[in-house]
Structure 1
Amino acid sequence: MNSRIFFLNWKRLQESLLTNLLRNIPTKAVGSNIRNLLYRTIFAHIGSSVYIEDGVKFINTSCIEVGNGVYILQGVSINATGDPNNRVYLGNKVTLEHGVDIRALKDTCIYIDEGTFIGPYVCLAGPGNIKIGKRCLIAAHIGIFANNHIFDDPTQDIEDQGVTRQGIKIEDNCWLGHGVTVLDGVTIGKGSVIGAGAVVTKDIPPFSVAVGVPAKVIKSRQEKEVLNLN
């Protein structure tokens, strides 16, 4: 047991030293190539032709997998802290724009599939699992929160009542507009469009256009007629 604790502490120290050193090397000074090379020693996997700018923060790198041709820009934070069962997966050709914040809290998988674009200052947070499909467009300032506080008992503090963790699934080829919020337990069907500022609280069928707070389907991309909002 003592040798295992020593090994885990050594791995944490190695990760902390390496990530803090490497993230401050300017990208123009071949910083991305150096990070790409040395991060291979501490990440679960890093593919080829990965571009990582300076100022990117990684925590618990042994639970983070990065595919080929991934772009990770300044200010991104990927936190898989505290649980060996956590997993953050970035598929081939995923782009994380400036300031994206990914948090896999406890026994959580956050999976972003091939070719998906995550815009600036998007937040994805567990502890529920989050899966985003292929070739999705996720615009700026979106919140995807796979948890929700339980508050049924008014005699207890809300923070003591726990959270739900049903998970969120966004299927292939979806477009979420600026400022959308997606709440725990939701599935957004393939090919759907969610209008700017919408709050998605219930499942959205495939190929739907949904807007509003809470989000309601206003039409189908497979049909020309507008659906009854009632």
Structure 2
Amino acid sequence: MLRSVFEKMIRVYKNPDFKFDKNISSKIILIFAFKMFIDWARGCRLLLFFRVPKFLFLGRGVAFNYLHNIDVGRWVIIGDFVTLGGLGRGRLSIGNGCRIGSFSRVVISTTFNNLGEYITLEDHVAIGDYSSLGGSGGLSIGANTIIGQYFSAHPENHRFDDPGQLIRKQGTTRSPISIGENCWLGAKVTIVAGVTIGDNCIIGAGSLVAKDIPDNSLAVGSPAKVIRNLR
């Protein structure tokens, strides 16, 4: 009974084809249900800030910085010890059905003297554990894109053209990063400022993406190069 109830809920709100593995026992489902209840209860703390959570599930130690500038959709799951930072010119927007892995940082700005732009995660984006997403130059990730652990996106570069100055005093340049819909980025992928990745792309694990990747491409390497068209 409990199995079928949870399967129906997950099919409606997350995955229409979901079915528990036959080796999952009723005990495991009860443990899962209890954990989700605790995470849901943590999400209700947003009521203290006059925000109404829409089935928000929070792990332990989640930090919201500048919550007034953060939008969170329905059925969002945020893992343990995630930091969300909304300080910026634009907003930090997390769409419906998104998942952010434990120990990740999703932060628009880290400085008060030059605010960052925005971070937008469209519906059903999944980010792996230990990831770092910055929004200084702007970052957008399209719907249904899934990303492995240790992902990093850096829409900002330090200048180093003056050898007579410390690098940290030379300022930065910023350019937006855009990742399309229905992409799969493997673990430890890094994307630098100004890069656009098209729709339906796969980026191999460990790749450094320094140039644009067109739609329907499989790209691997450091720097990443397109090795095959997927259509």
TM range (shorter): 0.7 to 0.9
Superposed, which structure 2 residues align to 1:217-228 within 5 Å? 217-222=226-231
Q: Which residue of 2 aligns with 1:35?
A: 42
2:44 touches 2:53 (CA, 8 Å); kept in 1? no
The TM-score, its normalising length taken from structure 1, stands at 0.78
* Alignment length (residue pairs): 193
Identical-residue share of aligned pairs (%): 36
Q: Quick check: 1:78 aligned with 2:84?
A: yes
**Structure 1 unpaired stretches of 5+:** 1-26, 223-230
71 and 29 in structure 1: CA distance in 2 versus 1, 3 angstrom threshold: closer
Q: Give yes or no for contact 2:100–2:128 (8 Å, CA) kept in 1.
A: yes
Tell me the CA shift for residue 179 of structure 1.
Answer: 0.7
Shift of 1:158: 1.1
Structure 1: distance between partners of 2:220 and 2:83: 29
Q: Please provide the CA RMSD for this pair.
A: 1.9
Distance 1:165 1:133 in 2: 20
**1:30-69 superposed matches below 5 A:** 31-42=38-49, 47-69=53-75
Q: Is the 8 A contact 1:46 1:67 kept in 2?
A: no
Q: CA separation in 2, counterparts of 1:165 and 1:29?
A: 39
Write the distance in 1 (CA, Å) between the matches of 2:215 and 2:53.
Answer: 32
Contact in 1 for aligned 2:136/2:155 (Cα 8 Å): yes
Closer/same/farther in 2, CA of residues 33 and 198 from structure 1, 3 Å limit: closer
Q: 1:31 deviation in Å?
A: 4.5
Residues of 2 paired with 1:188 and 1:152: CA distance? 28
**1:16 corresponds to:** none
The answer on 1:92 being equivalent to 2:96 is yes
Instruction: Return the offset for 1:30.
Output: 5.3
| TM-score normalized by the length of structure 2 | 0.78
Structure 1 residue 131 corresponds to structure 2 residue 135: no
1:167 matched residue in structure 2 = 176
CA drift of 1:48 comes to 1.6
Q: How far 1:150 sits from its partner (Å)?
A: 1.1
Mapped contact 1:93–1:115 kept (Cα < 8 A): yes
Partners of 2:127 and 2:186 in 1: how far apart? 11
Contact kept? 1:36, 1:46, Cα under 8 Å:
no
Q: Could you give the per-residue CA deviations for residues 24-46 of structure 1, whole angstroms, max 9, x where no partner exists?
A: xxx85954344333314537x65
- The 2-side partners of 1:63 and 1:212 are apart by 36
Look up the match of 2:27.
none
CA pair 180-46 structure 1, distance change in 2 beyond 3 A: farther
In the TM superposition, what whole-angstrom CA distance separates every residue of 1:78-117 from its partner, at most 9, and x where no partner exists?
1223x4x341111000001111111111242100010111
Say if 1:46 and 1:68, in contact at 8 Å, map to a contact too.
Answer: no
Determine the C-alpha separation between the residues in 2 that align with 1:95 and 1:130: 17
